[in-house]
Amino acid sequence: MSVITQASPAEPEAFSATPERTWRPPSYWPFVIPALVVVLAIIIFPWVFTIWMSLHEWKVGSPTVFVGLANYLRLPTDPRFVEAIGHTLFYTALSVVLPLIFGTLAAVVFHQKFAARGFLRGIFIMPMMATPVAIALVWTMMFHPQLGVLNYLLSLVGLPPQLWVFNPTTVIPSLVLVETWQWTPLVMLIVLGGLAAIPTEPYESAQIDGANFWQVFRFITLPLIMPFLFIAGMIRMIDAVKSFDIIFAITQGGPGSASETINLYLYSVAFVYYDIGYGSAIAVVFFLLIVALAALLLYLRKRMLWTSELGDGA
Amino acid sequence: MSLRQVSLRQILGRIGLWLSVFVIVSPAILFFLWMASLSLKFEIDNAAYPPVFIPENFAWKNYADVLASNRFLTYFVNSLIVTGSATGLAMLVGVPAGYGIARMAAHKSAVVILIARITPGLSYLIPLFLLFQWLGLLGTLVPQIIIHLVVTVPIVIWIMIGYFETTPLELEEAALIDGATRWQVFRHVALPIAKPGLAVAFILAVIFSWNNFVFGIVLAGRETRTLPVAVYNMISFDQLSWGPLAAAALMVTLPVLLLTVFAQRQIVAGLTAGAVKGG
């Protein structure tokens, strides 16, 4: 890469002037520079500015004072923030595991050949492409305790009506239901890509050995699609931690603050209370939390590989 | 005998397969059918228990009401301008960037895109909101167009890197040796080959920009709302009438749903390649 950066944007004549010289690749920097400017302006600058603001007492309408790490030190003593971490982790754990399970099952089915498969796959991925606010609005109506269709469906199978998002203990699982419905298709697509890459030989020998469907899935399919499940889990984790539209549109973090995740609390601090300095500190810690969770997943994956190798060796 | 056994097993397998397909696809189908049903019912039917699934009289007037009131058309135009500009600008800077990064094999630059992918959308909003306020741009569509680039530019760059990395180099090298400029090679050799990639990047950028909500609730004023924000505001103000609400929600998301069904091959290719999502 250093060679390329050193190469001056040579004129075409430069080539003909020295025809004997070996051909050198031209610089591609002019192609990248416009995007670099945009990325600097809308991604790098906001980050630098956020870190700077997080070191200040900065409220809209009052003078700015440098306070060092005071905003960060305030976080552990803020009960609403601590609770928000708990809500976020609970919401995220469920929103990773459930789509992974259902998405894998769906991928196994979509891996088979059947009529109108492409069209049905298009239908299946509609939930994740549809406008989240529009979806949230319809789910809000479905969750309605008296008039909602969900309680009617429960009554059909003899289950008691629920308060869904109107009860502090069921609000997060209810929101996870929406999140799972929405994002199972993404897991399905990633795992489907993995299934397409699996060779057929292991299945043929398993068939000769008389393995049943579950054994084939457990001992052949599952280990081979593990890398793809891991990628899907990682993406799902990042998106679930950041989830905003669905929660904001359905509950706004309520009832009370029972479904207030970090992202929703960040919104309140920055754009309801206009406490810009504290909000920036939350944004930084929030980002670090996502990076830490990603690192944890990577670590668990490494350990899993290590133990399975050990198991094979023994 | 054995032949009959096999075919019976095959038939059972087929039935089982179709049953599982039905079970898997039904949550999506039933949801959107219910959405359509809500949008086509009068209030009496929407408030009925047990619920009415197919009403005797369709309330087409729900759609007419939405189109007539709530400045739906203004917000539709706002959405078109924001999504169109943000996608167009992203293609303009992102496609050459994807090409440059792929040809320089500058894989480390992907880290920036990764950071953009991980960062919550709200984090961009605080500094950029202050910046737009300082520049006096609030109240116009410009802040939303610029901040939507946060979503569209990484998608376009990411997908185009993938496409340009797989296109053959020989043609480009031949053209360069024949005296073509880098720009000519890009324009006349690389770009035509990468056309499928352009379609994928364009479609995904449009969808994720169109769907974006979080930037709008902070940056949009009364006149500059995009459709998702307008629909959200309807929830808070006209909570009692479900019919027009569902009709508005369906109209907002219908372009995306149609695109999903008709361009599902491109969407699937893009999502599995980059697994991108904005915001």
Mean pLDDT of A202-220: 84
On whether any CB of chain B is under 8 Å from the CB of A252, the answer is: no
Instruction: Give the whole-number percent of chain A exceeding pLDDT 70.
Output: 89
Confidence bin at A314 (pLDDT 50/70/90):
very low
Q: What is the pLDDT of residue A182?
A: 96
In this predicted structure, the answer to whether residue B70 has a pLDDT above a threshold of 70 is no
Confidence bin at A26 (pLDDT 50/70/90):
low
Read off the tokens for A59.
């409220």
Q: What is the pLDDT of residue A183?
A: 95
Q: What is the pLDDT of residue B87?
A: 97
Q: What is the pLDDT of residue A9?
A: 44
Confidence bin at A24 (pLDDT 50/70/90):
low
On whether any CB of chain B is under 8 Å from the CB of A166, the answer is: no
What mean pLDDT, rounded, does chain B reach? 87
Q: What is the pLDDT of residue B3?
A: 55
Higher-pLDDT residue of A279 and A9 is: A279
Considering only the beta carbons, identify the residue of B51, B131, B264 that sits closest to A125. B264
Instruction: Give the whole-number percent of chain A exceeding pLDDT 90.
Output: 60
- In chain B, alpha helices (H): 2-39, 43-46, 61-68, 72-104, 110-118, 121-135, 142-166, 170-177, 182-185, 191-193, 195-211, 214-219, 227-237, 242-262, 264-274
Helix (H) or strand (E) run with residue B143 in it: helix B142-166
pLDDT in tens, A252-266: 998 999 999 999 999
In this predicted structure, the answer to whether residue B236 has a pLDDT above a threshold of 80 is no
Strands A56-57 and A65-66: antiparallel
Mean pLDDT of B192-200: 91
Confidence bin at A18 (pLDDT 50/70/90):
very low
The answer to whether the beta carbons of residues B148 and B209 sit under 8 Å apart is yes
Chain A residues near residue B246 by CB distance under 8 angstroms:
137-138, 141
**A 253-292 near B (Cβ less than 8 A):** 263, 266-267, 270-271, 276, 279-280, 283, 286-287, 290-291
Considering only the beta carbons, identify the residue of A16, A238, A267 that sits closest to B118. A238
Please report, as a single letter, which amino acid is at residue A102.
F
What mean pLDDT, rounded, does chain A reach? 87
Q: What is the pLDDT of residue B251?
A: 94
Q: What is the pLDDT of residue A1?
A: 35
pLDDT in tens, B179-195: 888 889 999 999 998 99
Q: Which residue of A has its CA nearest to B173?
A: A25
- Mutation target for B interface from A13, A20, A39: give the one with most B CBs within 10 A: A39
On whether any CB of chain B is under 8 Å from the CB of A304, the answer is: no
Q: Return the half-sphere exposure (C-beta side, CA atoms, 13 A cut-off) of residue A16.
A: 7
Mean pLDDT of A184-207: 88
Taking the C-alpha atoms of residue B194 and residue B214, their distance in angstroms, rounded to an integer, is 32
A57 strand-pairing partners? A65
Higher-pLDDT residue of A1 and A238 is: A238
In this predicted structure, the answer to whether residue A57 has a pLDDT above a threshold of 70 is yes
Mean pLDDT of B220-228: 91
Please report, as a single letter, which amino acid is at residue B122.
L
Mean pLDDT of A233-237: 93
Asked which of A226-230, A299-303, B141-145 is least confident by mean pLDDT, the reply is A299-303
Nearest residue to A241 via CA among A285, A197, A298 = A285
Confidence bin at A309 (pLDDT 50/70/90):
low
- Provide the phi-psi class of B70: left if phi over 0, else alpha when psi is between -120 and 50, else beta: left
Q: What is the pLDDT of residue B270?
A: 82
In this predicted structure, the answer to whether residue A68 has a pLDDT above a threshold of 90 is no
Chain B residues near residue A25 by CB distance under 8 angstroms:
103
Taking the C-alpha atoms of residue B138 and residue A3, their distance in angstroms, rounded to an integer, is 45
Q: Do A286 and B123 lie within an 8 Å CB cutoff?
A: yes
pLDDT in tens, A33-51: 999 999 999 888 999 999 9
In this predicted structure, the answer to whether residue B268 has a pLDDT above a threshold of 90 is no
Mean pLDDT of B150-159: 91
Q: What is the pLDDT of residue A5?
A: 39
pLDDT in tens, B77-99: 999 999 999 999 999 999 999 99
Considering only the beta carbons, identify the residue of A12, A47, A126 that sits closest to B181. A12
Q: What is the pLDDT of residue A25?
A: 56
Q: What is the pLDDT of residue A15?
A: 45
Q: What is the pLDDT of residue B30?
A: 95
Q: Do A129 and B214 lie within an 8 Å CB cutoff?
A: no
pLDDT in tens, A103-134: 999 999 999 888 888 889 999 999 999 999 99
Sequence-distant (≥ 6) Cβ neighbours of residue A187 within 8 angstroms: A99, A100, A102, A103, A104, A106, A107, A232, A236
Q: Which residue of B has its CA nearest to A123?
A: B261
Q: Do B122 and A266 lie within an 8 Å CB cutoff?
A: yes
In this predicted structure, the answer to whether residue B277 has a pLDDT above a threshold of 80 is no
Nearest-5° angle of CA A194, CA A198, CA A201?
Answer: 170
Read off the tokens for A170.
């069921």
Mean pLDDT of B155-179: 88
pTM for the full predicted model: 0.88
- Mutation target for A interface from B10, B15, B24: give the one with most A CBs within 10 A: B24
Chain B residues near residue A123 by CB distance under 8 angstroms:
25, 28-29, 261
